[in-house]
Amino acid sequence: QQVESCLRHAIERGELWLAYQPRIEAGSGRTIGVEALLRWHSPELGAVPPAEFIPIAEESGQIVALGDWVIQQACAQHDAWRRSGLGELTVSLNMSAVQLRTSGVPEVLRAALARHQVNPAHLEVELTESTLMETAEETMAQLHALKALGLTLSIDDFGTGYSNLNYLNRFPIDKLKIDRSFVQQMLEDPAQLAIARAIIGLGHTLGLRVVAEGVERPEHAQMLHAARCDELQGFHFGRPMPPAELERWLRSQR
Ligand code: G
Ligand code: G
Ligand code: NA
Ligand code: MN
């Protein structure tokens, strides 16, 4: 309740910001993108983690305004980085099921891309398996509308939802992100490694790129690269960082 009422003013009072975590191309080791992750510092409540406030915002419907803000902010940041010569990083953002279902979201994305002159090929939208399964029929038309803008669509936390694998063929998706639970237990548990490998094979067979999340150790990166995983993300490379810190990090990588 308190979260909900404080959240109501968070956007206008400038209490929200986006952290960016680097995403690395496994083959070259280059940073090819960043994932935008919402952060909230409330003067009343302190730092509230998204795992806490996003479910509340989804219930109250505030997630639509938050999601619109994330889209604007991510596109503005992409534009700023392009102008400052940091290169053509792909920016990915997380979209909740509630926002995906709103009829206005394709237009919000289209307008933000145009205003900030973002190449749609450089914007990625991450959706969880449960988001896709929740509302399969209405979601389908909406996914096609997002694809028609030229965006990349990825399935986040893949392998943890109760998915009907048929949807992989039916939905216009481009990428799978292997949930970090598989990666984190890969070294100790051969079954988890087998699952990670199977997801990579499945993705490639279907013509999808595969990203591993939660890469915390050099051994994770080596094993995933050997298993032909396309992209890697995790604390081993970099944590989610404020924009200025990410810029310094990128420059230090060159
Ligand atoms: O960054 P962190 O690990 O605290 O994120 C926790 C959860 O919050 C993750 O599942 C992440 O996908 C989700 N999350 C972070 N930022 C956003 C956002 O901008 N929109 C939505 N819908 N979820 C987000
Ligand atoms: O659900 P989603 O994949 O969007 O969640 C992303 C969250 O995962 C980020 O908020 C980030 O803090 C967290 N994260 C990113 N890399 C790692 C990692 O290597 N280990 C762990 N434990 N969490 C990570
Ligand atoms: Na994500
Ligand atoms: Mn994830």
- Do 37 and 94 meet the contact criterion of CB atoms below 8 Å apart? yes
Name the residue with the closest Cα to ligand 1, atom 7: 51
- Do 202 and 173 meet the contact criterion of CB atoms below 8 Å apart? no
Q: What pLDDT does residue 180 have? A: 97
Range 203-216 average pLDDT:
97
* Mean pLDDT, rounded, of the chain: 95
Q: What pLDDT does residue 135 have? A: 66
Give the number of whichever ligand sits closest to the CA of residue 36.
Answer: 1
User: Helices marked H in 14-128 — which ranges?
Assistant: 50-60, 63-83, 97-101, 105-115
Range 197-204 average pLDDT:
97
Residue 210 above 80 pLDDT?
A: yes
Name the residue with the closest Cα to ligand 2, atom 15: 234
> How distant is the alpha carbon of residue 42 from its chain centre?
23
Would you state the structure tokens that stand for residue 32, as one six-digit string? 């090819």
Would you state the structure tokens that stand for residue 177, as one six-digit string? 């992100």
Its ipTM equals 0.97
Q: What pLDDT does residue 128 have? A: 92
Q: What pLDDT does residue 134 have? A: 77
- Surrounding residues of ion ligand 3, Cβ less than 5 A: 94, 126, 156
Residue 53 above 70 pLDDT?
A: yes
Residues 87-101: tens digit of each pLDDT: 889 999 999 999 999
Residue 31 above 70 pLDDT?
A: yes
Helix (H) or strand (E) holding 198: helix 190-205
Name the residue with the closest Cα to ligand 2, atom 22: 214
The answer to whether the CB of 240 is under 6 A from ligand 2 is: yes
Q: Cα of 95 to ligand 2 centre, how many Å?
A: 15
Q: What pLDDT does residue 151 have? A: 98
Q: What pLDDT does residue 243 have? A: 97
Q: Cα of 249 to ligand 4 centre, how many Å?
A: 22
- pLDDT > 70 fraction of the chain, expressed in percent and rounded: 99
- Do 37 and 18 meet the contact criterion of CB atoms below 8 Å apart? yes
CATH number of the domain to which 39 belongs: 3.20.20.450
- What whole-number distance in Å separates Cα of residue 5 and Cα of residue 159? 35
- Do 91 and 128 meet the contact criterion of CB atoms below 8 Å apart? no
Structural domains in the chain (count): 1
Three-state SS at 21: strand
Of ligand 2's atoms, which has the minimum distance to the CA of residue 128? 1
Residues 119-171: tens digit of each pLDDT: 999 999 999 988 888 767 778 899 999 999 999 999 999 999 877 788 888 89
Closest CA to 99 of 152, 146, 52: 146
At a CB cut-off of 8 Å and minimum separation 6, what does 127 contact? 95, 97, 100, 153, 154, 155, 156
Q: What pLDDT does residue 250 have? A: 94
Q: What pLDDT does residue 50 have? A: 97
Range of the domain at 22: 2-253
Cα three-residue angle 88-32-11, rounded to 5 degrees: 70
- What whole-number distance in Å separates Cα of residue 127 and Cα of residue 32? 20
Q: What is the dihedral of CA 20, 26, 30, 31, to 10 degrees?
A: -10
- pLDDT > 90 fraction of the chain, expressed in percent and rounded: 88
